[in-house]
Chain A
């Protein structure tokens, strides 16, 4: 019994950590611009697929991972620079539609540049199973959880301890005042896109050895990450992480104890419930402003 429970819990935490990373990407861009970047899932796909193809081309795995994350970050920067920034004062809805367009373009390009097959990566540190309280987990699970914790800590430090982190927060709180103290808000948006793309790519690399990847995995992972961000409260990085973990765990228990048929539906039931009963999410700001 306990073994089964722990097994589901670990499986939930693993996918939850991935949703959390994707959700964090949504939160960062939303904070800087109130745009929901629907190309976030494609960043996840690009991270995994680039690593697969670089490593197949003979690049050692750690180098391939670094290159893939860097390349994805460049795609994120290019998306901001070439599409979002060019529109100047377009409305948020226009920008959101642009990101949907970008996601289609990226997916199509991936289909041409890579291929349509499923690919996987070897686990980073072998496949020897580890026994924890009756559950069997792979070392890759520990990688996923460890890297996610590390990223959350680094982001926490960045936003709470560095001037640039605070400048990004300030821009999300009050863009006009941010400009008036001399913060280049375009640069903040650019950094947010680069950072979100890198986070997505890392998630994509981490999960590939467990679930494998192809050019279309970004759609589902993007939607799950979006659900995580909504559940946690859009714009709250902490909420995105909590939302991701909750989502992952609910999915895993639902699949284990109810039926695995409904695994993907769980996320969307949760997002609907959140929108009906708690539109600002678990940790989001209430929709009020003090004037």
Chain B
């Protein structure tokens, strides 16, 4: 088991946002976490990355308890997040954004990795010297993903990669997610776009107001009547 979360709770002040989450991700899997706006998806990913404090529960990564590890330590261990809303470093050049993705790796083989990311996202190579803030939404999403890949993720956390993108781009982003998974990257994908996410996921979890209410294979969840009614609008 690459990631094993048990009973994870997290709160904003007195308001508890996560009421004890249990999630497991095996090496090589693509796991989707779907749920409505405000269900706690982003809070959960932030707690995994260590930028949102957990008030209870354990997070084990590759068998090691990382509940108290600092965010930079978790990046070093291979937990890399593409945050909601992309969060690129706007005034910095595209290439600088990518190089900062490899910040914890202290310059090891960064040039080769840059080329790899440019192969995956050719548009980024074309715009390498432009300020990241000038890119379109889809390009910024690619940049945010490329930045996370520069860190050599063992577990890639994707927070709403399709948010705010045109339908055509959504398809492209999901193709890239699938491609990364085929290359062997373990992925935890958080999405409001439940249909697209579950369609490519090995397994899925449904989160509702801070608790996991359903879990099954992606396929089974897609066929589940409750999921259909609540998230797919069918």
- Whether A associates with B in a native complex is yes
Interface residues of A (CB under 8 A from B): 163, 166-167, 169-170, 173-174, 176-184, 290-291
Whether B114 sits at the interface, judged by CB under 8 Å, is no
Q: How far is the CA of A21 from the CA of B145 in the complex (A)?
A: 39
Q: Is the CB of B100 within 8 A of A166?
A: yes
Q: Is the CB of A177 within 8 A of B83?
A: yes
Q: How far is the CA of A225 from the CA of B147 in the complex (A)?
A: 37
| Minimum C-beta distance from B148 to chain A (A) | 8
CB-defined contacts of B96 to chain A, threshold 8 Å: 166
Q: Mark B91-110, 1 if CB is under 8 A from A, else 0.
A: 11000100111011001000
CB-defined contacts of A170 to chain B, threshold 8 Å: 89, 92, 100
Q: How far is the CA of A290 from the CA of B135 in the complex (A)?
A: 12
Chain A interface, DSSP helix/strand/loop, else mixed:
helix
Given A173-B90, A177-B83, output 4 extra A-B contacts at Cβ < 8 Å: A169-B92, A176-B51, A182-B76, A183-B100
Count of B residues near A, CB < 8 Å? 29
Which of A169, A180, A182, A183 is the one whose CB lies under 8 Å from B87?
A: A180
Q: How far is the CA of A169 from the CA of B75 in the complex (A)?
A: 19
Q: How far is the CA of A178 from the CA of B80 in the complex (A)?
A: 12
Q: Is the CB of B133 within 8 A of A290?
A: yes
Q: How far is the CA of A169 from the CA of B90 in the complex (A)?
A: 10
Q: Is the CB of B89 within 8 A of A177?
A: yes
CB-defined contacts of A290 to chain B, threshold 8 Å: 90, 133
Q: How far is the CA of A174 from the CA of B51 in the complex (A)?
A: 13
Given A167-B100, A170-B89, A173-B89, CB of A183 within 8 Å of CB of B72 = yes
Q: Mark B46-85, 1 if CB is under 8 A from A, else 0.
A: 0001110000000000000000001110011000110101
CB-defined contacts of A178 to chain B, threshold 8 Å: 89, 100
Q: How far is the CA of A166 from the CA of B147 in the complex (A)?
A: 14
Which of B71, B99, B148 is the one whose CB lies under 8 Å from A166?
A: B99
CB-defined contacts of A180 to chain B, threshold 8 Å: 49, 51, 71, 75, 80-81, 83, 87
Q: How far is the CA of A174 from the CA of B80 in the complex (A)?
A: 16
CB-defined contacts of B103 to chain A, threshold 8 Å: 163, 167, 181-183
Q: Is the CB of B72 within 8 A of A169?
A: no
Q: How far is the CA of A182 from the CA of B207 in the complex (A)?
A: 28
List 26 A-B residue pairs with CB atoms under 8 Å apart, sorted by A's residue number: A163-B103, A163-B107, A170-B89, A173-B92, A174-B87, A176-B83, A176-B87, A179-B51, A179-B72, A180-B49, A180-B71, A180-B75, A180-B80, A180-B81, A180-B83, A180-B87, A181-B75, A181-B100, A181-B101, A182-B72, A182-B75, A182-B76, A182-B104, A183-B72, A290-B133, A291-B85
| Minimum C-beta distance from A177 to chain B (A) | 4
| Minimum C-beta distance from B140 to chain A (A) | 10
Q: How far is the CA of A182 from the CA of B151 in the complex (A)?
A: 9
Whether B88 sits at the interface, judged by CB under 8 Å, is yes
CB-defined contacts of A173 to chain B, threshold 8 Å: 89-92
Q: How far is the CA of A291 from the CA of B103 in the complex (A)?
A: 25
Q: Is the CB of A177 within 8 A of B87?
A: yes
Query: Taking CB as reference atom, which chain B residue is nearest A291?
Result: B85
CB-defined contacts of A184 to chain B, threshold 8 Å: 70, 72
CB-defined contacts of B70 to chain A, threshold 8 Å: 184
Q: Is the CB of B71 within 8 A of A182?
A: yes
CB-defined contacts of A182 to chain B, threshold 8 Å: 71-72, 75-76, 103-104, 151
CB-defined contacts of A177 to chain B, threshold 8 Å: 83, 87-89
Query: Taking CB as reference atom, which chain B residue is nearest A175?
Result: B51
Q: How far is the CA of A181 from the CA of B51 in the complex (A)?
A: 11
CB-defined contacts of B99 to chain A, threshold 8 Å: 163, 166
Q: Is the CB of B51 within 8 A of A169?
A: no
Q: How far is the CA of A182 from the CA of B105 in the complex (A)?
A: 10
Determine which residue in A173, A176, A181, A290 has the highest number of CB atoms from chain B within 10 A of its CB, and name it.
Answer: A181
Q: How far is the CA of A176 from the CA of B104 in the complex (A)?
A: 16
| Minimum C-beta distance from B133 to chain A (A) | 7
Q: How far is the CA of A180 from the CA of B88 in the complex (A)?
A: 11
Determine which residue in A167, A169, A176, A291 has the highest number of CB atoms from chain B within 10 A of its CB, and name it.
Answer: A176
CB-defined contacts of B107 to chain A, threshold 8 Å: 163
| Minimum C-beta distance from B47 to chain A (A) | 13
CB-defined contacts of A183 to chain B, threshold 8 Å: 72, 100, 103
Determine which residue in B85, B103, B148, B151 has the highest number of CB atoms from chain A within 10 A of its CB, and name it.
Answer: B103
Q: How far is the CA of A184 from the CA of B92 in the complex (A)?
A: 18
Given A166-B100, A181-B101, A183-B100, CB of A174 within 8 Å of CB of B89 = yes
Query: Taking CB as reference atom, which chain B residue is nearest A187?
Result: B72
